[in-house]
Amino acid sequence: MSTLVDKIVQAIRDDIYSGSLTPGEPLKQVELANRYGVSPIPLREALQRLQVEGLVEYFAYRGAIVARTRKSEAADIADIRNALEILAFRIAMPNLDDDQLARLATLTAELESPQAADAAFFMVKIFDYYAVLLAKANRPLLLEMIQTNLKRAIRYYAEVVRQLEGAPMLGPSRHEYLEALRARDMARLETLVESRHAAYVKFIAEHFDD
């Protein structure tokens, strides 16, 4: 069951993803308390949790700001996600059953739909995707590491979507991933993941600053 702090975290997170709160913007607690209709104590806890997620930065004598986007951080996050994703597919593939593949097909359609341009929607569906993928793998730590990485990655995803301005997402689609999973073709799947990763890293290099 969601607590008040959970709800504040989600509200601020959504505003960062949507661009309502922009990178480097000061997060003044009185203004935020009024904005979200909450008291300072749960708000402070929410900001601390968002700091752990990499969405908020704290500075002595200045307080909190929305974390700034950085090319080097985006590239690091993408490299780590690429390695974790390939590992997850490699571990999950031998034991995938028809029910998992059917659920992955549904999630793939949602992740490739126009709705996925909304970062909050994408975050829910991509979390579900990896949970289904690894459901029979008995690798809870791997799933936790993927989720931790995703929490840092989503704001960069949101910025990429904004800059693409309605153009198709970068690299191969997850529909191609699904076909490789169905065929139990790990070599093909790894090539697709690496290709998508390369396209994303190239975009970061060309459109983000440090």
Q: What is the pLDDT of residues 123-171, one digit of tens each?
A: 899 999 999 999 999 999 999 999 999 988 888 888 888 887 766 777 8
Do 203 and 71 contact (CB within 8 A), yes or no?
A: no
CATH number belonging to domain 71-207: 1.20.120.530
CA 64 to the chain's CA centroid: 22
**CB atoms closer than 10 angstroms to residue 15:** 18
Neighbours of 1 (CB within 10 A): 3
Please give the model's pTM, rounded to 2 decimal places: 0.84
Question: Boundaries of CATH 1.20.120.530 in the chain?
Answer: 71-207
Give residue 97's pLDDT band: very low, low, confident or very high (50, 70, 90). very high
What per-residue confidence (pLDDT) applies to 2?
63
Q: Helices 140-164 and 119-133, interaxial angle, to 10°?
A: 150
Q: Which residues of 91-125 are buried (b: 16+ CB within 10 A; e: fewer)?
A: bbbeebeeebeebbeebbebbeeeebeebebbbeb
| Domain span(s) for CATH 1.10.10.10 in the chain | 4-66
Decide: 47 and 65 in contact? Cβ < 8 Å.
no
Top CATH class, 4-66: mainly alpha
